[in-house]
Structure 1
């Protein structure tokens, strides 16, 4: 069952233009109900007012709109600032995280003075500095299956800046169940994606990505990194789509996935279609509550789990074994399966670096001594578990460090650098 949407929060935004794949009449409300522009607003938004496709009525639509931004991080930073600058009257932001120093490389919404503060508070203050007339509704909480449809249902439009698969499925489902258009973005290293999920006029997220990828097969930004400026490009593109939907102009990215390669400085487009068999927006949907089970995103493939059973060391055990190795009571090879650039940041003394990709290609197996046990580690334990499955399947005696070098630093060497 869907959560009822309170009267007056969801507007009649569907029109004949949707048959052509866009919201030709924007998020409509009776014209008389829209706020009128005062003298300061006419001056502030003058560059909008002189655009024929926006004008006074369009600006009033923006002031009347309610947009929810999921995440006040990399994508949320430019999104929140540009939504506020454009005059979107009410902006909701949901995030349960606090500002960390590693965020500042790309999350320009926050500063050094915000370290340790809830991101929603920092975001609200940044918006207030830009335009104190914008109403910011702070949701300092995690989006869950229990609250998703109720929170999403308060808004006309959702902009997704989530950085994990579980939240992406949750937001998508809540938007489908409440009939809310969703502007989606994703970033990784130098690549970004943007689209608008708005069934039945186009696909939803699950139509294109029915299942999350197996855990560890797609690195997160925390493991793979992201070029600091990339969120600005993708977040801004998301806001452009949001404004077009609110105003009812142009051709929103419904049924089109926009791909950006920052290294090649290219933008390309991929057609995506609605799946009639989709479990959430198809002809016979089966999803009645939003989101997916946590283990669908967190579970490693069965063969990896089985390989790690009985062969996962904690940090204290590895330290003891390294001490025994130094005294000659034990002999094994300690292998760091991270990328060389990661090893430059921190490492466990006495290890050698053989990246995971060389194990996947089989090349690394030729370097190992079959008579010598192996202990593997990575940043958090996922990549080393995957390599463990490969090494043990090849007949080697091997273990891996649960929690990776992060656990090692937490428990053994807190003075080491973190990333």
Structure 2
């Protein structure tokens, strides 16, 4: 395959690459002809995208429909103070073009869903998963499997992170070999609930960028079947072996999944539960307007509440709900909200189990309220 030549400006920019055995001019030309789809421009996506752009990957696709929040700035280094309230994609594109104006950046202002996943991935060589929820991770894995493209996986939690490459077409396992089924709603806390040290996604996201560049260049060893676990407190990297599961529903010997559109990838990202009642933020606004005494409980954390709160709401963080159950009326409607709807859905499930049948989830949480 003939790769595009380097311009004079590119030779100056990538001079330190050109002198590396295994990269050199041919490798840099490979990078120029390569493309990566980045799912998310948050904690993991920020460092990964920055280093891919700086390295000269010719085309980078960004998928994100979120807006910059002040709580993002502690770890999402693509974004800054002046971008608060604005689309993350706008911030990311501006920053990456400042890093490297010689590459192409595609901005996809939408969620990565079963409806658009195949079309979004098709023009790119590989995918980097920078998301923080299980349904999208299943989707990234599944669509990559069917298109025979590598999925560079990363995850973070407080002081620990993980990174690997899922690529059954190259002889390794897939994400479903490691996690066969979707965890129950609330089985794993969100970043807002559990917290994460801001430096950690910088480390894991950089490792994802490294694995992507190795794949694009065809150098080094691809960590197929090897999950690298980083413990920041112990300053340790520990490899775990991941074996291909012959019973895997996707890449096993007798697969039962034949499309990336399936129950796991269709599951709600916010973990809202259709078995429980819910209302929209528009309906919430009407209720608060017609009845100021409407019971509205905010199950976010105090720092989130201090940043923005719906007037008339009562703060009871999800972790304190069981101990403060006597503060929740047992009769009548009790509306519950959080940031996006996931924690509040779990709170509603708990309250109904306690006999508070009027508990109702506010879909989309305060983010939807603020956008409205």
**Residues 216, 80 of structure 1: alpha-carbon distance in 2 compared, 3 angstrom cutoff:** same
* 1:63 pairs with one of 32, 52, 57: 32
**Residues 368, 320 of structure 1: alpha-carbon distance in 2 compared, 3 angstrom cutoff:** closer
Distance in 2 (alpha carbons) for counterparts of 1:90 and 1:197? 21
Distance in 2 (alpha carbons) for counterparts of 1:250 and 1:256? 14
For residues 151-187 of structure 1, give each alpha carbon's deviation from its aligned partner in whole angstroms, at most 9, with x where no partner exists: 2121111111122222222221111111111101112
2:210 aligned residue: 240
* 2:102 pairs with one of 125, 133, 155: 133
Matched, 1:230 2:203: no
TM-score, length-scaled by structure 1: 0.71
1:402 aligned residue: 361
**Residues 110, 391 of structure 1: alpha-carbon distance in 2 compared, 3 angstrom cutoff:** same
TM-superposed CA distance for 1:232, in Å, is 0.8
For residues 120-151 of structure 1, give each alpha carbon's deviation from its aligned partner in whole angstroms, at most 9, with x where no partner exists: 33222212111111111222222222321122
**Residues 335, 95 of structure 1: alpha-carbon distance in 2 compared, 3 angstrom cutoff:** closer
Matched, 1:279 2:249: yes
Gaps of 5+ in 2: 279-283
TM-superposed CA distance for 1:40, in Å, is 2.8
**Residues 270, 57 of structure 1: alpha-carbon distance in 2 compared, 3 angstrom cutoff:** same
Matched, 1:175 2:134: no
* 1:214 pairs with one of 184, 189, 204: 184
1:263 aligned residue: 233
Aligned to 1:105, the other structure's residue is in SS state: coil
Aligned to 2:42, the other structure's residue is in SS state: coil
Note if contact 2:56-2:103 (Cα within 8 Å) is conserved in structure 1: yes
Aligned to 1:158, the other structure's residue is in SS state: strand
Aligned to 2:124, the other structure's residue is in SS state: coil
1:52 aligned residue: 21
Written as runs of structure 1 = structure 2, the 5 A alignment for 1:139-218 is: 139-200=108-169, 201-218=171-188
Distance in 1 (alpha carbons) for counterparts of 2:211 and 2:320? 38
Aligned to 1:402, the other structure's residue is in SS state: strand
Distance in 2 (alpha carbons) for counterparts of 1:339 and 1:120? 26
1:14 aligned residue: none
**Residues 265, 398 of structure 1: alpha-carbon distance in 2 compared, 3 angstrom cutoff:** farther
Gaps of 5+ in 1: 1-29, 323-333, 415-419
1:6 aligned residue: none
**CA RMSD of superposed structures (Å):** 3.8
2:281 aligned residue: none
**Residues 254, 356 of structure 1: alpha-carbon distance in 2 compared, 3 angstrom cutoff:** same
2:260 aligned residue: 290
**Residues 115, 373 of structure 1: alpha-carbon distance in 2 compared, 3 angstrom cutoff:** closer
Higher Rg of the two aligned structures: 1
**Residues 132, 282 of structure 1: alpha-carbon distance in 2 compared, 3 angstrom cutoff:** same
